Amino acid sequence: MRKYNIKVMGQSYEVEVEEISGNSQPVVKNIQTSPAPAAPVAVVAAPAEAAAAPVENRPAVPVNTENLAAITAPMPGKIVRVAVQVGQIVKKGDLIVILEAMKMENEIVSNLGGTIISIHVASGAAVNPGETMVLIG
């Protein structure tokens, strides 16, 4: 088990992640959170998208802190493509990231349904095992 402290929009979360050998999907075992915000939290996307709507016009995304999960890198590699955006709703099994490792492209899929809360990697970035790539709530 590895413990990580993750800060999302000012909220601190302690995440405990179990490493599973032979399985390419990370699993979050236990999450302890600070008190949940009383109102939905507005999610702000990175300014990388030129055609994105202005921040003030984006709808608030409700964050379910009870089911917050980190999708972590199962192996060292390079991010080829991030297939999701902040605020996007995903289902279990949806493609999240394509990770290149040892000249092979590995599809990292969501292990639960929810809303993309934050993205911590970009195309071309190098990641290490256990590094948080995406938070889903």
Average pLDDT for 34-38:
50
Give the model's pLDDT for residue 15.
77
Can you list the domains of the chain with their CATH numbers?
A: 2-39+60-136 (2.40.50.100)
Average pLDDT for 49-62:
45
Average pLDDT for 43-63:
47
Give the model's pLDDT for residue 53.
41
* pLDDT of 129 over the 80 cut: yes
Give the model's pLDDT for residue 65.
57
Under a CB-based contact definition with an 8 Å cutoff, are residues 54 and 45 in contact? Answer: no
Average pLDDT for 120-134:
93
Across all residues in the chain, what is the average pLDDT?
75
Query: How far is the C-alpha of 16 from the C-alpha of 69, rounded, in Å?
Result: 10
* pLDDT of 42 over the 60 cut: no
User: What is the secondary structure of 43-67 as a DSSP string?
Assistant: P---TT-TTPPPGGGSPPB---GGG
- pLDDT band, residue 66 (cuts 50/70/90): low
Burial class (CB in 10 A: 0-12, 13-18, 19+), 95: middle
Under a CB-based contact definition with an 8 Å cutoff, are residues 14 and 31 in contact? Answer: yes
Percent of the chain with pLDDT over 70: 63
Which is more confidently placed, 22 or 89? 89
Could you tell me the strand order of the sheet in which 2-8 lies?
A: 2-8, 11-18, 27-33
Give the model's pLDDT for residue 6.
78
Average pLDDT for 109-137:
92
